[in-house]
Amino acid sequence: MSGAKTIVHLLRHGEVHNPDGILYGRIPGFGLSELGREMAVAAAEKLAVRDIVHVGASPLQRAQETAEPIAASHRMDTVTHDGLIEAGNSFEGLRIGVGDGALRHPKYWWRLRDPFRPSWGEAYTDIARRMMDAVENARLAAEGAEAVLVSHQLPIWTARRFAERKRLWHDPRNRECGLASLTSFVYEGAKLDRVEYSEPAAHLVLKSESAKRAKGA
């Protein structure tokens, strides 16, 4: 099946329950909110009719919970891929919102000295390498069919930019990787043919954003 069409879907997890508004990163114990679980179901419903033969997820709770309804609908277990984990970040556990976070303190500015690596966390090249290893393993496992890998915004966006041969450093405000979105790598044989993007939970993301705006009003 050397020329077979294979699709590897990179699914970002749904909304996380994070009442304190911290950068949770790799901190354990952050699961999906009620709305996040609805987002996971919306993604599962979109993928229910697809020929999914492999479901993988980051070891973090929010990713595992997002994968559950997809694995269940296709009657398979979720495979944990360490390479899909969230990017390492030295600001984990801190609030970094505008006006109330770590970035206002000069003692943290040294961490921001190099946005191209970046200096405050895991190198983009390392993220790209582990993510593409996971994608390739999933492509081989699902050759001629489709796989779903549940990961996190920065790793997914970095993998996409790497696959599209774009520079890895970027403006985070311009990422096309919404909650419970699908970034789909379409392969013809072993060659990447194109990347597609969709948001099966877009209506729920709007609901989440509206709730946050109302809370901040």
125 vs 172, more confident: 125
CA distance 74 to 148: 11
Q: Which domains does the chain have, with CATH numbers?
A: 5-216 (3.40.50.1240)
| Percent with pLDDT over 70 in the chain | 93
Q: Judge whether residue 157 has pLDDT over 50.
A: yes
113 vs 137, more confident: 137
Q: Where do the DSSP E strands lie in 24-118?
A: 52-57, 79-80
- Lowest-confidence pick of 1-10, 64-73, 129-138: 1-10
Token pair of 47 as six digits: 């993928």
| Percent with pLDDT over 90 in the chain | 76
Token pair of 79 as six digits: 């495979």
- CA Rg value for the chain: 17
In the sheet with 5-12, reading across from the earlier edge strand, the strands are 79-80, 52-57, 146-151, 5-12, 182-188, 191-198
Does the bond joining 155 to the residue before it have cis omega, within 30 degrees of 0?
no
pLDDT band at 9 (very low <50, low <70, confident <90, very high): very high
Q: Judge whether residue 97 has pLDDT over 70.
A: no
Rounded to 10 degrees, the C-alpha dihedral 180/183/188/191 comes to: -140
Q: Judge whether residue 100 has pLDDT over 70.
A: no
Q: Judge whether residue 82 has pLDDT over 60.
A: yes
Per residue in 170-201, pLDDT (tens digit) is 988 899 999 999 999 999 999 999 999 999 99
What residue type is 9 in one-letter code? H
CA distance 194 to 134: 18
Task: Compute the half-sphere exposure of residue 164: CA atoms within 13 Å on the CB side of its CA.
Answer: 15
In 3D, which of 186, 122, 205, 109 has the Cα closest to residue 158?
Answer: 122
Q: Where do the H-state alpha helices sit in the chain?
A: 34-47, 61-73, 124-141, 153-163, 202-216
Return the pLDDT at 102. Answer: 60
Q: Are the C-beta atoms of residues 13 and 178 closer than 8 Å to each other?
A: no
Q: How many residues does the chain have?
A: 217
